[in-house]
Amino acid sequence: MSRGDTARRYLGVAERPPIDAMNSADWRTMPPLVKRYGRHAAVPIPEPLGDLLASASGLTRYQWETGGPAGTTLPEEGYAAGRAYRPVPAGGGLQSSEVYLVGSADGLETGAYHYDCAAHSLTRVRRGAVPGDLGLPGARLCLLVTGVVGRLVFKYREFGYRLTCLNAGVVAGQLLSLLAGTRWYGRAVLRFDPAPMGDVLGFDAGAETVLAVVELAGEPWTDAGPDRPALDAEALPPTDRTRPVPMLDSVPLTAALLGASRTADGPPPPVPGLAGLGGGAAEPLPAVASRLADGVARRRSADGRFGPDPLGREDLAAVVAAGAGGWESEVDPGHMLLYALVHRVDGVPTGRYVYDRGEHRLLRLPSAQDGPGAAGPFAHILAMHGAAAGLYLAGDYETGLDTVGDRWYQMLNITAGIAVQRVCLAAAARGLGSRVRCSFEADQVARQLHPSGRIRPLCQVLIGRIGSETAYTQPIDGRHTL
C-alpha cells in the first residue's frame, strides 16, 4: 500500500453528498451536543480569556425548529424542538468541536481546562498539565480544538469526518481572527501526535480527538515556571449524560483514516500555481482593510434567500483577500486556490475566476473550459439561494498525500475551515450575509475549476446582501464579542 492510500479510499466516499445517510438518519440517536464535567471543578475564567472563548465557542442564541427532520409539521419523537447555536457555522448546525486550554495564564493555575459553553466557565480537567505533556515543548499556553466525531456521524455517516475537520478549522479560524490585532499572538499547529493529548485529557480515542492547536504567546500568558503543581494522576471524567459517544465502529473508513493520520513525517507539498489558468481578462481588485473581529457578533448563517442587490467590488475584494491568507500555520494558505463565481457584483463581469494572491486580482477562467452547459451547476446553486457570488476553497490532495501521507487530508481541510471562517467574518464585517455549503459533487465542480482535475473543491461559501430568513431565534448571551 502506498502513502496516502487510506485517505484516497476515504475520498471515494467523502466527495459525494451523503443523501442516503441523511435520509436514513435516526435522530433519536443524536449524541449530546455539549460536553460537561462536574460543577465542583468549575473555575471562573480570567479576562481576556473569557471573551476569547465565548466568542469562539460560547452559546449565543437558540433557534426554534419549524419542522421535523423529514419535513414533517411536528418534530418526531426524540427530535429536539430547537437547538442552541455557537458563534461559528457548523455542518448541519451540529457543533462537533470542543475547546480546551492547557498551560498557565495570569489568574489561572497551571493545568488542562475544558471550556464549558453552557456555563461559560472553565473546568479543570487535570491539574499541573503543560503543553510539553502534550508533545508541544515550545508552547507556554495553547488552545486545543477537538473533533467529537459521533455528533456528525449519526447523521452523515462517513461524510461526517469531512465536516468534523472543517468544523475544527472554523473554530481555529475564529480564534486566530480574534487574536489578530490584539496584544496577543496565535499560530495554528496541525502536525502533532494526538495520542498523548488524549491521554492527558482522558479521551476515549473512539469518540474524541484533537484536530487543531492554537499556540498563544504574549501578555497575559505566563510561563508555568518551576513551581507548577504536580500533574494529577488522571484526568477528570465528563458527566455520564454528556460523555462523547464512540461511534467509529459504524464508519470503518473514518476509523482507518484517523488511525493512519496520527503522524505526518514528510515535507509539505509545493504550493499549487496558476499555470494553465486565467486565460481570460484580469480584474484588479481594490485594497480593502478588514478587521475580522468586527464581524463576530454580526455573523449568521443565511437560512433563507439573499437580498437581490449586487455586491460592490470592494465587498468582493474584502472577502476574497480574507480567505486567501492572513494567518500563520504549518500549512501555507497558498496551498489552497480560491475561486470566485461572480453573479451580481458591480464592475465585475459575470463569470468564473481564480484569485491571484501576488497581484490581488481575479483571473477569468478560459472560455475553452466552459463547454455546453458547464456553468449550469454554478448558476443553479447561486440562483437557488439568490447569492451574488460564491467562493470555492480548493486544494491538491494527491501531491500532499504523496509527500505528507494520510494526515494531509486532515491538515488541508482544517486549513480550508480557517479560510472559510475568515470569509464569513469579512462578509459580516461589511454587513453581508454568508452561507457555507459542503454538499456538492466534487468531480463535477473540479472539472470546472482546473483542467487537470487534481485541484479538488473543499468547501463553498455563498455571499450576498442580507435578505429573508426562515428561522426564529432568540439570543442567549451577549458575551460573544472580544
pLDDT > 90 fraction of the chain, expressed in percent and rounded: 65
Residue 311, CB half-sphere, CA atoms under 13 Å: how many?
A: 34
Q: Cα 117–118–124 angle (5° rounding)?
A: 65
- Whether 364 and 353 have beta carbons less than 8 Å apart is answered as yes
Residue type, 75: P
Query: Across residues 458-465, what is the average pLDDT?
Result: 96
Q: How far is Cα 414 from Cα 96, in angstroms, rounded to an integer? A: 13
Write the pLDDT tens digit of every residue in 426-442.
Answer: 999 999 999 999 988 89
Residue type, 463: I
Residue 228 confidence (pLDDT): 79
Write the pLDDT tens digit of every residue in 321-370.
Answer: 999 999 999 899 999 999 999 999 999 999 999 999 999 999 998 764 44
Query: Across residues 380-400, what is the average pLDDT?
Result: 90
Write the pLDDT tens digit of every residue in 183-209.
Answer: 888 999 999 999 999 999 999 989 999
Residue 146 confidence (pLDDT): 98
Residue 225 confidence (pLDDT): 56
Q: How far is Cα 408 from Cα 400, in angstroms, rounded to an integer? A: 6
DSSP 8-class letter at 357: T
Residue 448 confidence (pLDDT): 84
| Burial class of residue 56 (count of CB atoms within 10 Å of its CB; 0-12, 13-18, 19+) | buried
Nearest to 173 by CA among 15, 336, 341: 336
Q: How far is Cα 434 from Cα 464, in angstroms, rounded to an integer? A: 7
Tell me the three state secondary structure of residue 107: coil
Tell me the three state secondary structure of residue 123: strand
Query: Across residues 467-480, what is the average pLDDT?
Result: 70
C-alpha cell at 204: 476515549
Average pLDDT for the chain? 88
- For the chain, which domains are there? 5-69+80-267 (3.40.109.10), 282-472 (3.40.109.10)
C-alpha cell at 267: 515535507
Over 70: is that where the pLDDT of 80 sits? no
To which residue does cell 414533517 refer? 72
To which residue does cell 428561522 refer? 471
Q: How far is Cα 170 from Cα 177, in angstroms, rounded to an integer? A: 10
- Whether 150 and 207 have beta carbons less than 8 Å apart is answered as yes
Residue 190 confidence (pLDDT): 96
C-alpha cell at 375: 456553468
- Whether 128 and 110 have beta carbons less than 8 Å apart is answered as yes
Over 60: is that where the pLDDT of 1 sits? yes
Nearest to 306 by CA among 238, 388, 411, 224: 388
In order of 32, 34, 78, 111, 232, the CA distances from 242 in angstroms are 6, 6, 16, 22, 22
12-26, 209-223, 299-313, 460-474: the lowest-pLDDT one:
209-223
- What is the distance of C-alpha 28 from the center of its chain? 26
- Higher-confidence residue of 481 and 418: namely 418
| Burial class of residue 306 (count of CB atoms within 10 Å of its CB; 0-12, 13-18, 19+) | buried
Reported pTM: 0.93
130 phi, psi to nearest 5 deg: -130, 165
Dihedral sign computed on CA atoms, order 191, 193, 196, 201: positive
Residue type, 351: G
Residue 404 confidence (pLDDT): 95
Write the pLDDT tens digit of every residue in 137-149.
Answer: 888 899 999 999 9
- Whether 185 and 217 have beta carbons less than 8 Å apart is answered as yes
Over 60: is that where the pLDDT of 464 sits? yes
Residue 75 confidence (pLDDT): 46
Q: What is the DSSP string of 358-427?
A: TTTEEEEPPGGGT-TTTTHHHHHHHHHHT-SEEEEEEEEHHHHHHHT-THHHHHHHHHHHHHHHHHHHHH
- Whether 467 and 307 have beta carbons less than 8 Å apart is answered as yes
Which residues have C-beta within 8 Å of that of residue 398, sequence separation ≥ 6?
A: 4, 454
DSSP 8-class letter at 262: S
